[in-house]
Structures are given as C-alpha cells and as structure tokens.
Amino acid sequence: MKNITIVFLVFFFLMNPDTWALAKEKPAGKIIRLKGSALIVREGKELDTHVNVKIFQSDVVKTGPDSLVELLLLDGSSFIIGPESSLGLSHYKFGLNEDNPNFICRMVKGVFVYISGAISKLHPKAVKFETPDGTVAIRGTKLVVRIIEADSISSTAGETFFILLKDPNGKVGQVTIFNRYGKSTLNKEKHYVTINGDKSPIAQKFMDPKTMKQMIPEILYPFVFENYKPPLAYTEAFESLIDQSRIFVFPKRDKPISISAP
C-alpha cells in the first residue's frame, strides 16, 4: 500500500508541474485577472498562463499588446501589469509569522500600477522596485510606473515616470526614488518624478489629468482613474491547506478561516 501511494504521488507531480514547483517553494501570489495574452518565464522556460495560476519568486511575467495581468500577492499587494510589459519577481518573503518580510521586483519595460498591501504599510522601505533608470522604495500607497525605453535610432534617452495616487482608503503614502546621482521624494497626490540613468531624479511636479491619460494605456484606465479596490488578501496558511488537500485526503472539517491583510 505504501509503495502504491509513493508511485501515485510521483505520477501526480509529473503530470502537474505547477504542483511540483509548489512542493519546492511557497508561492508569492497568483494571477487573478488576465486580458489578452501573457506568459510566465520560470527557470528559463516560457509557460502559458491563465487566471488562478500561482506566481513564484524569480518568475518573470510578460504581457502582449493590448493585454494586462493582475497579480494578487500574499500580503494583499496588487500589481497590474500593462501591455507589452515585463515584470520580474526578484525576491518575496511574507508569512503570518515572518518578522522581516520584503518584496523586491524588477520592472524591465512597460507600464505598471501597484496598490500596496501589508508589507509596505507595516514595514517601511521593505518594498523596492528596480527599473532601468533607478530604484524606488515605497511606503504604503498607489503608484503608477511608466518606463520609456531608450531608442538608439532617434537618439532618445530612456526615462522612467513615477506617478503617486491615493490608495483605495483615500491615503497618500510616500515614495523615494534614487540612483547613484541622488534621490527625490514623492509624497503628493497626482505628482510625479522622472529619472534616467545619467542624472539625479527631478523634484516632484504636478501632473494634470490630460497628460496622465496620454501616459497610460486605455486598458489601465479603470485601475488608475477609478478607486479600484483589489480583492481581500489571502493567507499563506489558507493556501497551504488548499495545496495539501489536492494531494492528501483530510477528514471533513469546517471551512478554513482566511485572515485578510490590512
């Protein structure tokens, strides 16, 4: 009987590569929205994706034209990835009993909307986004990031825009943008900071709605110009119960309680 069980589990893992990944590492979150085309690059392999697919540390998410992906991370952070964009989840550590959670990602190109969760609100400077032109440290807020790539044909330099907005609770957080030449603080609603690799970030400036609409693809308008609220966070403990129930048979029990992050 024991040998049969082992064979069954090996077969199950081989037939479910996503579950094999889960066995090696805890997920950082999952895809809760997908429009158009997207793929995940994991350990050098390109994987087709769909809603409810789990995202792991070191995954890279890429979107096609007129597409978007929304990630919901374990701490309640929401990441909306716009068209023709690429986001790498460099490091993610969060748990119910984690003393030093952190979140580091690499924005390679495109446009992104980030709505902060528990990590950036409870642990200032624990969330950092790396871009081709500099790094941003975030303390609880809603942030739009637009990366304009360098164009060697037109001799146009690359540049990254950071636009600060109110979060779903009506609060405005603080963002620090820096590179080796200096830093700038962004702490006013509808203000922005730009940065490129050769200069210090500019001081924050007001961005009027018309200019902002020109900066952002229309598919992202509901997330930027409306008070979009991400779903409630799910917890690592709840996910663990779900994962285990797919492999082992547990006695019937009451439904697990999902504790939402603030």
Looking at residue 211, its pLDDT comes to 95
Radius of gyration for the alpha carbons in the chain, expressed in angstroms and rounded:
20
In a domain, 150, yes or no: yes
In a domain, 128, yes or no: yes
In a domain, 242, yes or no: no
In a domain, 3, yes or no: no
Looking at residue 100, its pLDDT comes to 83
In a domain, 73, yes or no: yes
Instruction: For residue 258, give the 3-state DSSP assignment.
Output: coil
Looking at residue 185, its pLDDT comes to 96
Its sign, for the CA torsion 254, 29, 34, 230, is positive
Crossing angle for the helix pair 2-15 and 17-24, to the nearest 10 degrees: 110
Looking at residue 2, its pLDDT comes to 44
Say how many domains are in the chain. Answer: 1
CATH code for the domain of 83: 2.60.120.1440
Residues facing 184 on adjacent strands: 177
Tell me which residue range forms the domain holding 72: 29-231
In a domain, 112, yes or no: yes
Looking at residue 26, its pLDDT comes to 83
With 0-12 CB in 10 A as exposed, 13-18 as middle and 19+ as buried, what is 24?
A: exposed
In a domain, 33, yes or no: yes
- pTM for this prediction: 0.80
**Mean pLDDT of each 10-residue bin along the chain, 262 residues long:** 45 47 71 96 94 94 96 92 97 80 93 92 86 91 92 70 94 93 96 91 96 95 92 59 40 39 40
Looking at residue 135, its pLDDT comes to 94
